[in-house]
Structure 1
Amino acid sequence: MIKTNTFSVVNFLILLIIVFGGSFVFIGCGGNDQPFFETIDDQTLAIDARRTVEIHIRDSNKKDMHTVSASSANNRIATVVVNDRSIDPISIADFTIEGVAEGQTFITVSATDDSGENNATFDQEFMVTVVEPEIIVSTASPLKESTLDGSEVSLSVIGLTFDRNIQSSDVIISGIEGVYSYPTRISDTEANVVLNLDSCHGISTDSFLNLTVSPGAFEEDYNGPSFTAELFVLSDLDLREDYYYDHIVGPWLWMIAPGGSIDLDNLSVASRGAITENQIAQNGVSEGEHFNALKWTKGDLLPTTVCGIFLCSSDNVINVVREIGLTNSFQLTQYSAYALLNIVSPRDQKNVLLGVGSDDSIKVWLNGAVIYSNNVRRRTTGIQNCFHVDLNAGNNLLLIKVCNQGSGGNDDWGMFFKVYLETRDYTISLPR
């Protein structure tokens, strides 16, 4: 039998208590320390908005528990609710303020140390100003049709804060066809909206652009109405009547390759890597250069369309590649056609509008860079999509790829291309 010296064990426990103090017995309880949290800034809040404010409570004993409370001096102006009254030792709590009516009131937030008999409390008071929300819309210069694409609109909000992940769907543009927006948050109260123009039609008269900012644009839970503003746009392009309707016939340099995918390099696949789309887009080719058994051949792209009982479409791509001898077939499905030319500009020109139409998908390179791609299955009878580019002085090498996927009973293969400049501002030529 093993005997235990009871007196020695008791003495040992007493010694531990003396050495380590009450913390051994009251672990997790702590003492009566004064809690503290950083200064809460005065708030400006919109009517019908709820804003959540977070506080970090500090204490000399990190294991202390705290109770957080809050009150408003005038609930008719603003109310406050603590979302979590009894918080863990991490000491993070938040409360929500709601704007009720215009005016000012004080809100008091308290944190109480719950670890002992004489619980210490830290109070802080801050001002809340409740206002009618407002958004101020401005531009650095008047909006004009000729420079609308890429123009910037500044937004300044009062009583709310912009969401850190503000989306295009939160700022809606209407009033002028083809204009859409890319909003960016600059600060809590400032945002920037870049306008983009994806339209093949101008504005015949001076117009207004309508801008709508939805409640989803803000950090707060805002139940008020959307904000709207009108922006005047000057119609400053004096264009001839046929400006938006004619398109470039050519001549183009043409090539075809098996494969109906707009994202797959069908030239590389057909040549086993000897020739790629990027090589052609960057360096071009000369008339008569070989691609497998075919040669790059020039031909005009005519604006031919065919109408049935219900639908019209164009088959001008298959018509031109048959006419110049790249194929004898009357139809090629799951094929890609490549059309190449130079846009010759007398000077550097910014923000030039280009337009395309396609049956089916289409990709466009300018000076070696992809400037437009649309993986789509559709018919075409003319220009369907527009985008802006910068032209260099001199030659600008343009490569267009259009795929015929032959879906849904539509075997047509068509393409249209347009430069929205007066003829004095550009010419076209074959590459090299």
Structure 2
Amino acid sequence: MQNNGSGKNWKEIREKVPRSSHSEWEIAPKRDPLSILRKQDKARIEKLIPIRYERMAVSPFTYFRGAAAVMAHDLAKTPVTGIHVQICGDAHIGNFGIFGSPEGTLLFDINDFDETIKGPWEWDLKRLAASIILGGESIGIGRKECLKYAFNAVQSYKDTMKETTKMNTLDLWYKKIKIDDIDIKKEKMRKKLDEVNAKARSRTSQKAMEKFTHIVNGERKFIENPPLIEHVFSDEDLNFVHNGMKSYRETLSSEKRLILNRFRVTDIVRKVVGIGSVGTPCFAVLLLGKDDNDPLIMQVKGASKSVFEPYLNTDAYINGGHRVVAGQRAIQAGSDIFLGWGKLNDKDFYVRQLWNMKGSIPMEEIREEGFDLYGQACGTALAYAHANTGNRFAISDYLGKSDTFAGAVADFAAKYADQTKKDHMQLQEAIENRLFE
């Protein structure tokens, strides 16, 4: 019988927190999702805030993607076992995808870590399951099928977690989901994945240079696309990025600094990214090596507290950038070699390559079977991440052999999806009533 490190075995935990209890969802008194979202606006660039809400208002799923803080508030009141891992914090299906390992192998894994923190493993699974229902319905899949796919994703997590208990520690650490190893039997699905793979392989700094830059007066510069990409440099902005890049270098290993020192910063723009991140300080930095055709394009992104920090006791991180980088290095199968962090003028940030053979599988272009397979792959990736950073034996023992937990989480996801639709309508009404102007 395994122990979870807290002096309680899995039977004691099940008695206190039955697996069926994870279906519970009740609205807290005085719950106000708009106030939670508006509170985040205080740390965002004011002129970009309308873009955030415009993107969130498109559908319940896009609202869900931008409302991680709302779900953090809601999850904090749900049953948990007390077993903590390094959670992604924003484990919706849009935050999984393809990226290149340092060796150039295409891998499938979590690819967003802005909210990562040490916390309850259940929270990642519940956000994933709810996103499968909302994401599936957004592309026309019925509720019954979406419920099944959410259930299957959680079952995939359970089965993978069980497998990890049989693995040696180092074998688990080196375990990766290689795209070429995914068993896809249907020809149309394999063809679509091959297209996504080819596109991901083309997403390099060289291709980013061709897409985002041009030559102006003999110098390579970013192409502006206001307000999404623009040169907006006050002295403070310019110093933030230039000096911040210097402090960032100190967080890299000596051999990575040696490579980076062969590049020089030649241009910087502010770049709007994602849905949840719209309005946060984010810059694209153009560095050139031996000549104008030797690029390295980096993303410098502001990092504040995780949306889960108000509900957890944590002081393990030097700053927000360190939290993101430490979390990514702990749970992603193969991190960007230039991933690092820094602090300047009380602003926390982290740095990564803008394009590192990153790719995503467009939900609207895959059939129901493909969507199911995709959700299961997300569940597997989460299991590897949690197993590497927490007590995999305790989690597996708690989950057991039955489908009770998966059924409960799918029930929760259905309830939360319904609530998200109501929250989305509230946002739309607020926009129509010009409450965000």
TM-score strictly above 0.5: no
Q: Going by fraction, where is strand more abundant, 1 or 2?
A: 1
Q: Bigger relative contact order, structure 1 or 2, given CA contacts below 8 A and separation 6+?
A: 2
More helix by share: 2
Q: When the two structures are superposed, what TM-score results if normalisation uses the length of structure 2? A: 0.19
Length-normalised TM-score, structure 1: 0.20
Please identify the structure whose Cα radius of gyration is greater: 1
